[in-house]
Amino acid sequence: MSDTRPPADDHDLTREVPFTAADVVLEERRCLHDGFFRLEALHLRHRLFEGGWSGRMVREVHHRHDAVGVLLYDVERDAVVLIEQFRAGALDDPASPWKLEVVAGLVERGESAAEVARREAMEEAGCEVGELIELHAYYPSPGACDERVTLFCGLVDSRGLGGVHGLDEEHEDIRVHVLPFLRAWELLQAGRLDNAMCLIAFHWLVGERASMRARR
């Protein structure tokens, strides 16, 4: 009979956190750039899984405000509200630097994630949100960035939505699209919804959509 016992170091990850920030020695924090975002060089050492300490290393960290994303979904019409805008980080994208996304924004001091979701829905899509359902909170790229994202699904009435929105002082030029869910899912499958917020939110919605519509 084969031995099916787990290896000795197979920790219960639901209960145990092996290390915390107390297991890191930050020797120096140096600012490399401080503009719309901040870039720092961290000189540090950390504990190792098998004991002892790492050597001194340097890691660059991109500091951002925490962010909120909200997939706007009209249960009655089985439609989603997406926005389209220019994204500097996608400037070298082989197709286009204009991206289809869910409504999103940065958390300002004193704001809750839910407040940001409602504010950004109005600013970017001219849309009032009813019920907010929190999906996940996650780090998009913890190897290089301290940003933490809270993702919601916001229930809306999509009738009359559309046009171009955004704040002039933030140079926003945001076009609103109201799409049947199945059309949006086709776009995702074709690679047009190619950002983490869209992918995570739509994969959540595809699993919950039937039960949400049954309750209407």
Nearest partner of 135 among 83, 204, 203, 193, judged by Cα: 204
Residue 184 marked ligand-binding? no
Residue 120 marked ligand-binding? yes
**Residue 170 burial (CB count, 10 A):** 9
Residue 172 marked ligand-binding? yes
CA 178 – CA 160 distance, rounded (Å): 9
Render 98-130 in DSSP notation, one character per residue.
EEEE-EEEEPPTT--HHHHHHHHHHHHH-----
Residue 124 marked ligand-binding? yes
Render 39-60 in DSSP notation, one character per residue.
EEEEEEEEB-TTSSBPPPEEEE
Catalytic-residue membership of 60: no
Catalytic residue among 16, 50, 169, 170: 170
Q: How many helices (H) and strands (E) does the chain have?
A: 3, 11
CA 104 – CA 146 distance, rounded (Å): 17
Backbone angles phi, psi at 171, to 5 degrees: 55, 40
Residue ranges at the known binding site for Mg(2+): 104, 120, 124, 172
Residue ranges at the known binding site: 104, 120, 124, 172
Q: Which residues are catalytic?
A: 170
